[in-house]
Structure 1
Amino acid sequence: MVRILFTYLLLSCLLSKVYAQSTVFTATINHYNESQKRLLATNIGRFFYVVNQGQWDMDSCVRYVCKIYHLNIQLPYDETINNGNLQQEVAWLNQHAPNLLLQSIPGAAGEKRVAMLLELALYYLHKPGNDPSDLENTATYITQAKAYAKSLKLIRWLIECDAVAGDLYLQQGDAKKSSETFALVASFLKNNGDKKRNAIAVHQLALHLPYNDANRLSNLEKAFATYQELQLKEHAIAALGDIVTYYFSSDWSLAEAKLGELLVMQKQSGYRHFMDTYYVRAYLKNNRADYIGTTLDIDSALTIMTNTGDSSIYSMVCTRMGSIYMGLGEYQQANEWYFKGIERRAIEPQILWYTNLEEIGKSMPRLNKANEYLSFIRKMLADYPPEGEIDSITMSVRLGEAYLQLHQHDSAEKYFQPFLAYVERIPPQHLQMPDVFGFQQYARLCFQKGNYPLARVYLQKVVEHARGRPTIMSRLEVSRLQFAIDSAEGKFHDAFFALRDYVYFNDSAVNINQRFKSQEANIRYASEKKDQDIQILKQQGLIQEGNLKQARQMRNIVSGGIILLLIIGALGYNQYRMKQKNLLLIGQKNDQLTQLVNEKEWLLKEVHHRVKNNLQTIVSLLEMQADYLGDDALAAVQVSQNRIFATSLLHQKLYQFENVSSVNMKNYLPELIQHLREAFPVGKSIDIQMTIDDVELDVSQAMPVGLIFNEAFTNTMKYAFRDNNRRGKITVSCEKDADNFVNLLIADNGIGFNATGEAHTDGLGLSLIKGLAIDIDGEAKIESGTQGTTLYIRFKVRSPLSTNRLQ
């Protein structure tokens, strides 16, 4: 009982924790207005798209975000189309049932019909991937919407049609036509005086311009300024986020500054899902070796995730924490964080957690676990092969580094080759930090192989591509390798300066590491201590009141727990008593039923015994009467005698054996046949061959079968062997086949019906045989000729007391 209660309480605690987290997650989303929900979908979707370097297309990222946050898939795109009167229509699209919306369009009119057509166009336009049929459907519905709007002179809706068409042109690969279309839309709306819609159009125009186009930034800033003027907080946050993305590819210092502004706006707006902003800023701080600042930002991201119940980017946070420790040379802690991220594989798409699997290719070899890493990674790759080219190339570099650590240069060269082929066809401006790391590792391989000129070439590539965004650890590795190459080539003057740089960066790394370790232990404590000091100075009375309140709550909880345990105990004891009482009652009923069954069986045996005795009395009376009768009457009495004996013998078998509802033919028929053989004078001169299976027949079938045997055997004895010219032979068989049918056969080698000259085929005996065969649901066949007579009956065995019999 105690174990049950303990398990119940433990399960309740666990479920309450999960429920609380789920409730926080749901409550946070439900608290948002429509604009905040739209910002959530587009902002986190853009974050996934950028972080994963476009391995998912933008629409796939946004669709995934809508799924995890339970948002309608149309919400990120239909702000200017859906004014709230298309709830059912967008619900159909969210259920991926566009045909339902299509069927309802003929019944709509005016602006709503145009809006419904454009919702369909957006549905197909923003389906994941770039399926030509989806783009064809998009173009079809835009054309229909535009024609209908034109017929009604709905100018505003013609502009919306053009805006959706601008999106379509970009996905069709015509970036120029796309930007021109949005420029026309923005120009018209500016002249029309609709500031909000114009700002949205300018924002859309910026996003449809190339990243290196200066107009992209200027249009984003124009849209941002207008949003702020109109106090459109969520729109302004989205625009500022796109400005950060612009600077991210060109100027990290400006990007970091803008991220600070973005955090302030997000906190003031009531929007709570800004863990991605902290994550991106942590990335920038990590790359400039500000590991303390990186840790603070990651800690803030984790706090937000806890407060919102949202763990959607947790595996990415694990990657960032791992990179911090990698930069500090704390490879064991980095490894632990990477494995935490890998554990998310059961609940996250592979593209989100896979970087952790790639990064352990850095940490494990540095822990002198290259062989262990190779064994582990082979198993993981069998279950989780890379999904895209970038992951495949990155994984190849990690394997190359592991073999490099083991000094297996040929194997390392093999795995570096796909990376070298990849970077050759990628424009330099699109190379990422992982690519720079690949150059660095390949330079190490060339140095170990003694190819110093080639090592210098790839080391120079590291310097060139890391310019503007180097980390202290990358500088340390570059200077160390530069020193080794210069020393090997005898360039001692250059080697001296490389060694000086190495010492400088190593000292910097050591100092950073020491400061990080000291502040890592104190950073949360200092923040909490400061808050506690403020509380002590300003609210000491409230603290005491809170303690009293907590004590009262604890008392109430304990009291409630005790009462709950008492109630559960009382209920359990009451159930136990009821169970024991029911078991006793059931036992008594079973004993009564067993006694009744036994009494019924003995009663039925006694009935059969008495019926048998009565029938024997009748047989004896008939025998006495036969002494005073002539030949014909005597024959009739003998026939009746045999019939009654057949019935009497059946009842005898029923009470002699345990089963009082069925008779075994193997016990019954031989005795009946022996009696009939002795009843006729010719019986002793006749050979009888019997083949009788172990067949159990219900009383309802055994009685007719006994009478059939009696009649058939009697007819055979009386008529078959009158000529006395042949040795009589009777064959009797009762066999049961696999289909549960019984085949009865009585055959003789007598003279047959025709030879007797008497029409016995219509006599009482044969009529009785046919009637009894029908009673047992069987069929009787009689064949007679000069070689004798055969009676064949086939019927299906009934189960004792079957349903059919009872009905």
Structure 2
Amino acid sequence: MEVSLLKEIKSQSESERKVQSLLNLGSIYYYKPLNRIQALEKCLIYARQAKIQASKLNDRDNFNKAVLLIADALIQLSRITDAEKELPDLHDKAKIDLLLMLAFQYRLRLEGTSSSNFQKASQYLDTAAALANKFNDCTTGIRISGIKGSILAQQGRFVESEQILLAAASKAGKNHCIPPQYLDLELTNLYNQKGDYDKALLFGIKAVREAENKSDSLCIGDANYALGFIFRNTGKFQDAADHYNKAMKCYILFPGIQTTLAESIEAIGQIMISKKEYKNALIFFQKSYPKYHLGTYQSKLIEAGDIGDCYLKLKNYKQAERYFLKEFHLAQSVQDLDEATYHRLAFFYVESGAYQKALPYLQEALKRRNEASVQSNGHLYYMFFLADSALGDYKSAMKYLGANKRCDDIIYQESKVAAMHDLQNKYEADKKSEEIKLLTKSEQLEHANLRNAETFRNISICGTIAFALVGAIYYKQYRRKLQMSSVIQKKNQQLQVLLQDKEWLLREVHHRVKNNLHTVICLLQIQAEFLKDDALKAIETSQHRIYAMSLIHQKLYLTDESETINLQIYLEDLIGYLKESLRSDQPICYRLDLKPLNVDISAAIPIGLIVNEAITNAIKHAFVGRKENNVISIKLDEAGEEVQLIIGDNGIGINLSNDPLKWGSLGLKMIRGLCQDLEAALEIKNIKGTQFDIRFSKSTKRNP
């Protein structure tokens, strides 16, 4: 491919076609994941040639593409400040694209402090948002929200981040302007950072499936990496390794957006370290990193750190020091000396017993402690304690031990635990005081009633015997109840497991049904290539009907509910699909007034087919010859125990015989038959167009 493009470039004179060939060649080198630095340098060469040629031809569109490609390549080469210099050359939407690119990369950037990087990212986002207001562009607004939400998550502001990302995902779903896997991936990262692994797993699986369904090679690796992270943090190392390996295979072919090939190699090796397979991890790192010739700052930093970790675990301190120092000097060369950099080298020296060497790095880390979390600061203070204790500075050691303790108090909220212990001790003291008072009164009563003791002695003995007999009976019954309770509890646990298995099986059935229906749609699509006229129209109509059914099974698979479906969400997605697939020569406005209503799955399928038929007929026949003011309206509401569905248009209307049995259209016959299955009342009106008025009971289930 590169050879043919080079030949074209050499044979072409200055023209728009030559500019396009240069851009294509630059893009090919940009998307090469291996030998990354050399490939990006070549990408820059051809992108800059394209920029010059496009400028001479006054080709604004290709000029913008060339500038964006140059900036992106510079960012990947860790030359983000050079990429910023390209901003003045761009205008309007192309400038917004570069601003968002810079904001996204600053929030992932390793060089510099995290606070300065987040500040830069926020500034670029604000500038992009101000420019985007001129265009009223839905896509740009959602992209800004996605990056802003991810920055807030990295800053630990999880509530704000979650609100922004969920709102952006909802808006993207309604407008179909951004592939859902990217926002699902950001939500996965958010819940990973929060430690809410159930939600992280839900969105991670959705991101993987959406990326695979759309063959999005750039996202598949990142989504699998995120799933691997979840499984690793929940102790499922084999599942984690499987997903990290999938991610690595993707990155060998395509570069990731958020994560890299080097990070996937590191993740696989760290799984081995978690299993205490230190030698295997070392061999894996030593083979993998040189094999792919990555060469970027990030990959070199990760490689040095990983090999250093392995030697440290193997107690080969000489080799470990070599790689830890290499990691430190790499960070130093790009001014990436934050708290974590000093902390890491200090940790090595403390672990290896070189306490005197650790002290300068501990001091530097201490100066930057405001950049770190409470947990990291607690660990830093503990290393100070170890170093000072070993060097005989016990006063300083005790000071840092106290600082470590204060961090622990914050983390584990020991003040609350202590307060609970105080309350418990007070309760026990009060209880003992009351018991003393009662004993004193009992002694007084005993002296007062001593004369009557002999009189009641025999009665007491008899009462004691009777009480013992009754106690024995109650004890036997109590033991029997405990045994029964244990049996019932085990049965309940078994039923709970069976119920969970049933739910998973149902979801899997819906998933397989959806996949099979999509296979049928694809087969019909293939068949349609060999058909024309009425046969082709019949095939296309069948595709839409099958999609209406498959969409229900997709919704059920992605939710915990297995028997009912939300009509509002289902109909919005179905109507969105019909708008895209049944494009008309006449512009059509869709007015939706849908209330959130849950109905049984058996009722949802005929409702979806009815809506499909009504909208299809309206698009095909209602607006013949009209170029404007074409409206299709859909209303879903409830009145008491009934659901009302109204589908109407302002088209030319239809002529119907008074006898429904004489309706000739297959679509109208289907609507009538489906309404009978629902036991629904159907009324068709000609009121400035055609209107289908359908009423049915909320508890309706389709007859088998």
> TM-score interval w.r.t. the shorter chain?
0.3 to 0.5
Of the two, which has the highest radius of gyration? 1
TM-score, normalised via structure 1 length: 0.40
TM-score of the aligned structures, taking structure 2 as reference length? 0.45
